[in-house]
Amino acid sequence: MDRLLIQGMCFVSVVLLVLGIERIYRARTSGRPMLETGTGKPGFFTWFQGPIEVLGGLLLPTMMALSPAREALIRRTLVTGGVDESISPLHILGAQAFTALCGIGICLLMPLLGGGEWGWMLLGGAIVGFVGWMYPWLWLQRQAADRKLMISKQLPYALDLLTTAVEAGQDFGAAVRYITRNGLTGPLGEEFDRVLSEIDLGNSRQVALRKMAERTDTDESAQFASAVIQSIETGSSLSSTLRMQAQDLRRCRFNRAEQQAAKAPSLMIIPMALFIVPGIFIIVFTPVIIKVMRSLGKM
């Protein structure tokens, strides 16, 4: 059992070391800070491109036959997460299979390298294989959630800038172009750049904004796009619409923060019951138990 514990700790240490090296490499090659949410192509998909594409090519037809909606879900999550366009559902499935096989293979090799019981190794292989299978999908979901959160945080500030630019006499397209060229960066800046590109290609502003709302998949973006489209189609004041949208988004963000704060006491019950309360019982009742046992002559 001790040897199994040591082997497991060594395995976790190696995995964390590899992930840390990959994170540093990606930050240096992309020129972004290490703590910034990356939306480019991770090095993992480049280093192991061959086996990932082979495994993905084998799994994708089966997945499409069993669950056609799965591919659409992965593709939509890739778009929402702003992941590099060269990564497709095939690469995600291949990465899932590759990490699962690597985890299973390492666990099965441990008895050959350092001894150990095969039963524990098979159980560990099944657990590590499942974690390896889920990790690429969880990573993709995390990318999408982080990007949606950043867009939700940036949107009220961007609407203030748009309102100022529109009130200064610019139309909507010129105002969006101005703020993207003068300070608005991050995921929302990328989305506004795509909106401008689609408008330059001949799409209407309404179509470009609807596509932006579909890509970002956030309530704030959908509300913003709907309000601007309605203002354009009805001919109402765009600056007033943008100002009202900025106020509504800030109010919604404040209400969401209040809701999360209200959930904190209920979320603290579990760690308190598992860690704090047992410690309190040990501190309070241990002296009492010792005194009782001494009085009974058992100590």
User: In this structure, what CATH number is given to the domain that contains residue 197?
Assistant: 1.20.81
For residue 184, the one-letter residue type is L
Q: Does residue 221 share a domain with residue 137?
A: no
With cut-offs at 50, 70 and 90, classify the pLDDT of residue 93. Answer: confident
> Is 116 a domain residue?
yes
Which pLDDT does position 29 carry in this prediction?
A: 47
132 plus 80 within the same structural domain: yes
- Measured CA to CA, the distance from residue 37 to residue 178 in angstroms comes to 25
Q: Mean pLDDT, the chain, as a whole number? A: 79
For the segment 71-91, what is each residue's pLDDT rounded down to a tens digit? 888 888 888 888 877 788 888
User: Does residue 263 surpass a pLDDT of 80?
Assistant: yes
Q: Which residue segment(s) compose the domain that 52 sits in?
A: 2-24+43-145
- Residue 245 domain-assigned (yes or no): yes
Residues 96 and 182 in one domain: no
Confidence (pLDDT) at 10:
56
Using alpha carbons, select from 23, 143, 48, 40 the residue that is nearest to residue 98: 48
Number of independent structural domains in the chain: 2
Based on the fold, state whether residues 10 and 84 are members of the same structural domain.
Answer: yes
pLDDT value, residue 114 = 57
C-alpha to C-alpha distance for 37 and 143, rounded to whole angstroms: 8
| Domain identity same for 134 and 157 | no
Residue 183 zone, left/alpha/beta (φ > 0; ψ -120 to 50; rest): left
Q: Tell me the mean pLDDT in the region 85-101.
A: 85
Is 266 a domain residue? no
**Same domain assignment for residues 67 and 198:** no
pLDDT at residue number 165: 86
In this predicted structure, what is the pLDDT of residue 39?
A: 43
Same domain, residue pair 180 and 230: yes
Please list, in sequence order, all residues whose beta carbon lies within 8 angstroms of the beta carbon of residue 5, skipping any fewer than 6 positions away: none
Calculate the alpha carbon distances from 196 to 20, 180, 209 in Å: 37, 10, 10
- Is 291 inside a domain boundary? no
Q: Are residues 60 and 101 in the same domain?
A: yes
Residues 205 and 122 in one domain: no
Q: Is 188 found in the same domain as 105?
A: no
Give the span between the Cα atoms of 97 and 107, in whole angstroms: 16
33: three-class secondary structure by DSSP: coil
Query: Does 141 share its domain with 6?
Result: yes
What DSSP line would sit under 98-152, residue for residue?
A: HHHHHHHHHHHHHHHHH---HHHHHHHHHHHHHHHHHHHHHHHHHHHHHHHHHHH
